Amino acid sequence: MIGKVLGNRYELLQKIGGGGMAVVYKARCKLLNRLVAVKILKPEFTNDDNFLKRFLNEAQSAASLSHPNIVSIYDVGHEDDIHYIVMELVDGITLKQHIVNNTCLPWREAVGIAIQVCSAISHAHKNKIIHRDIKPHNILITREKVAKVADFGIARAVTTSTLTSAGNVFGSVHYSSPEQARGKYIDEKSDIYSLGVTLYEMITGRLPFDGDTPVTVALKHIQERAQEPIELEKDIPESVNNIILKAMEKDQTKRYQSAKEMLIDLEGVLKEPDRNISMNDSLVDNPTIAFKPIDNENIIPEDELTMSSKTKDKELTGGNTLTVWFALATSFIIILIFGYITYKLVAPSINLKPDDFVVGNYIGRYIGEVENELEEARIDMQVKRVYNDKFDKDKIVEQSIEPDKTLTPGGFSVIVLTVSDGPHMVEVPDVTNKDYRKAQEELQNLGLYPVTQPMSHDTVPIGAVIETSLEPGSLVKVGTAIVIYRSTGPDYKSTVVPNLIGKTWEEAVGLIEAANLTIGKIYPEGGGNHYKIVKQEPVASDIVDEGTPVDLYFENAQEARKLKSIKIILLDDKKYGDEIMVVVIVTPSDTQQSETLINECRKKSDFPLNLSIPIPVGGETKLYTKLDNEEPIEQTYADDQGR
pLDDT tens-digit map of 561-590: 778 889 999 888 888 888 999 999 999 887
Average pLDDT over residues 344-365: 69
What's residue 441's pLDDT?
Answer: 92
In the chain, helix, strand, coil percent, each to 5? 35, 25, 40
CA distance 106 to 104: 7
**pLDDT reading at 434 higher than 90:** yes
Catalytic residues: 133
Q: Among candidates 11, 21, 230, which has minimal Cα distance to 137?
A: 21
Average pLDDT over residues 138-145: 89
What's residue 322's pLDDT?
Answer: 62
Average pLDDT over residues 465-483: 90
CA distance 507 to 473: 57
Weakest mean pLDDT among 135-144, 185-194, 398-407, 633-642: 633-642
Weakest mean pLDDT among 219-223, 391-395, 554-558: 554-558
| Residue 469 near residue 483, CB atoms below 8 Å | yes
DSSP 373-425: HHHHTT-EEEEEEE--SSS-TTBEEEESS-TT-EE-TTSS-EEEEEEE--S-E
Q: Do domains 494-558 and 563-638 have the same CATH topology?
A: no
What's residue 518's pLDDT?
Answer: 92
Give domain 5-87's CATH number out of 3.30.200.20, 3.30.565.10, 3.40.50.2300, 3.40.50.1820: 3.30.200.20
Q: Assign a CATH topology to domain 494-558.
A: Trypsin Inhibitor V; Chain A (3.30.10)
Structural domain boundaries in the chain = 5-87, 92-280, 425-487, 494-558, 563-638
Average pLDDT over residues 276-303: 42
CA distance 37 to 60: 16
- CATH number of the domain located at residue range(s) 425-487 in this protein: 3.30.10.20
pTM of the model: 0.45
Architecture, CATH, for domain 563-638: Sandwich (2.60)
CA distance 615 to 593: 13
Weakest mean pLDDT among 234-248, 342-356, 371-385, 594-608: 342-356
**pLDDT reading at 350 higher than 80:** no
93 bridge partner residues: 141
What's residue 197's pLDDT?
Answer: 96
Average pLDDT over residues 320-336: 65
DSSP 465-509: EEEESS-TT-EEETT-EEEEEEE----PPEEEPP--TT--HHHHH
CATH H-level superfamily of 92-280? Transferase(Phosphotransferase) domain 1 (1.10.510.10)
36 bridge partner residues: 27
What's residue 482's pLDDT?
Answer: 92
pLDDT tens-digit map of 517-546: 999 888 876 555 556 888 899 999 888 888
Weakest mean pLDDT among 128-142, 170-184, 416-430, 458-472: 170-184
DSSP 219-271: HHHHHPPPPPHHHH-TTS-HHHHHHHHHHT-SSGGGS-SSHHHHHHHHHHHHH
What's residue 537's pLDDT?
Answer: 93
CA distance 510 to 578: 49
Weakest mean pLDDT among 204-213, 327-336, 341-350, 606-615: 341-350
pLDDT tens-digit map of 27-80: 999 888 889 999 988 887 777 776 777 667 667 767 778 888 999 888 888 888
Cβ neighbours of residue 413 closer than 8 Å, sequence gap 6 or more: 379, 380, 401, 407
**pLDDT reading at 316 higher than 60:** no
| Residue 382 dihedral angles phi and psi, to the nearest 5° | -130, 145
What's residue 53's pLDDT?
Answer: 72
Report how far apart, in Å, the C-alpha atoms of 570 and of each of 224, 586, 597, 606 are.
85, 20, 18, 11
